[in-house]
Structure 1
Amino acid sequence: MYPYSKSVTPAVRTHLEAQNAFLNDVSKSIFNSFQQFSNLNMQLAQTLLEETTIASQQLLTADQQTDAASAVASRAQPVADKLRAYQQHLSTLAADTQVDLSRVTEEHVKETAQTANALAQEVARTSVEDTERNVQKQQESIRQFTDPFTKNSGKRGNGSEPPRGSASMQSGSGGNAQGGSPEGGKGTGKPA
């Protein structure tokens, strides 16, 4: 119906489509009711205008005041009847609108609830997966932070490698520095 980006999951898409269908049907029902209400008001206005025209015409053609008063009184009853009929039509329209909205809601509640449930499950599953991924990343970061030499073993703190043989000279020449023999035995400290 509408193009969605690829990042939108099918659960989100179906839920949005269900919500869209529900809102479209509710809007149609409401606009239909407003249209009927407008038509009813137009009929009332037309009827009242006709009655006013007839009453005005009778007033203008009346020769005596009693004729004018009887003309106004004779038009009052039909206007009251028409206002009563308008009120009944208005009550019927309100009841029909309520029934129509209830029908639309009943039609869409089941589907909307199912799609909302599917969306909630999808969100829960995605959040669990994201949480697990984040926990693994944090554990890896902590492991690398606590043991920084496992990744860069053999490198110095500045990233360079130690010169070749320097480690063996330091450990193997410990006896020579004190004047001992290269075999590691104790010397007398006197030159030979």
Structure 2
Amino acid sequence: MYPYSKSVSPAVRTHLEAQNAFLNDVSKSIFNSFQQFSNLNMQLAQTLLEETTIAGQQLLTADQHPDVAAVASRAQPVADKLRAYQQHISRLAADTQVDLSRVTEEHVKETTQTANALAQEVARTSAEDSERNIQKQEESIRQFTDPFNKNNGKRGNSGNTVHAAGASMQSGSGGNAQGGSPESGKNSGKPA
């Protein structure tokens, strides 16, 4: 019906087409109802204009005193026509409701099926994407930790050497901090 890009999946395409068909049928039904309503209003306006014209002509062509009964007799058909108009509108509203129900019933099954297919495809796609993302994260973690594991043996020996040198420096500096030499640290405990 409409050209879709190649990235759009078939489930999305069928669901959009089903929704489009449903909305087209609903809009046709509503527009038909509005057209009938407009025709009904035009008929009423035309009828009222004709009745008013006839009543005006009778009043103008009457002899000296217009007959009140003749004018009142013209009012009764207008009231009947308004009552008939109201009945037509009620019938039109009921027919529109029935037509909308029919259109909805026709499209509900297909739209529900396409929506379910789309939901299943989205769930499957999201599960696949989640699995791919988890695998990428695990691979990134492995790549991040692998260099440390490969160098761990080298680093462990050199790290121990550095640690041992640091420990000897601390013990030497501890004596220097108190008096400059280890012996001065011993003498510093005695009163001078």
Partners of 2:45 and 2:149 in 1: CA distance:
89
User: For the Cα contact (< 8 Å) 1:19–1:112, is it kept in 2?
Assistant: yes
The one-letter code sitting in structure 1 at the alignment partner of 2:78 is V
The TM-score with structure 1 as length reference comes to 0.75
Structure 1 runs of 4+ aligned residues shifted over 6 Å read: none
1:4 and 2:12 aligned: no
Q: Which runs of 5+ in 2 are unaligned?
A: 152-192
Secondary structure class of the residue paired with 1:136: helix
Partners of 1:61 and 1:131 in 2: CA distance:
89
Secondary structure class of the residue paired with 2:147: coil
Q: Which residue of 2 aligns with 1:172?
A: none
Partners of 2:147 and 2:28 in 1: CA distance:
66
Kindly state the Cα deviation for residue 66 of structure 1 after the two structures are TM-superposed: 4.4
The one-letter code sitting in structure 2 at the alignment partner of 1:112 is T
The one-letter code sitting in structure 2 at the alignment partner of 1:48 is L
Partners of 1:22 and 1:76 in 2: CA distance:
46
Q: Which residue of 2 aligns with 1:131?
A: 130
How far does the alpha carbon of each residue in 1:135-182 deviate from its partner, in whole angstroms, 9 at most, with x for none?
00011111111123689x8xxxxxxxxxxxxxxxxxxxxxxxxxxxxx
How far does the alpha carbon of each residue in 1:45-95 deviate from its partner, in whole angstroms, 9 at most, with x for none?
00000000011111111223342x223201101001101111111111111
Q: Which residue of 2 aligns with 1:17?
A: 17
Kindly state the Cα deviation for residue 40 of structure 1 after the two structures are TM-superposed: 0.4
Q: Which residue of 2 aligns with 1:105?
A: 104
For 1:31-50, list aligned pairs within 5 A.
31-50=31-50
The one-letter code sitting in structure 1 at the alignment partner of 2:91 is T
Partners of 2:103 and 2:5 in 1: CA distance:
29
User: For the Cα contact (< 8 Å) 2:59–2:66, is it kept in 1?
Assistant: no
For 1:8-87, list aligned pairs within 5 A.
8-67=8-67, 69-87=68-86
Between Structure 1 and Structure 2, which shows a larger proportion of helix residues? 2
Q: Which residue of 1 aligns with 2:172?
A: none
Secondary structure class of the residue paired with 1:133: helix
Q: Which residue of 2 aligns with 1:89?
A: 88
Q: Structure 1 vs Structure 2: percent identity of aligned residues?
A: 90
Q: Which runs of 5+ in 1 are unaligned?
A: 154-192
User: For the Cα contact (< 8 Å) 1:144–1:150, is it kept in 2?
Assistant: no
User: For the Cα contact (< 8 Å) 2:15–2:115, is it kept in 1?
Assistant: yes
The TM-score with structure 2 as length reference comes to 0.75
For 1:150-161, list aligned pairs within 5 A.
none
Aligned pair count?
151
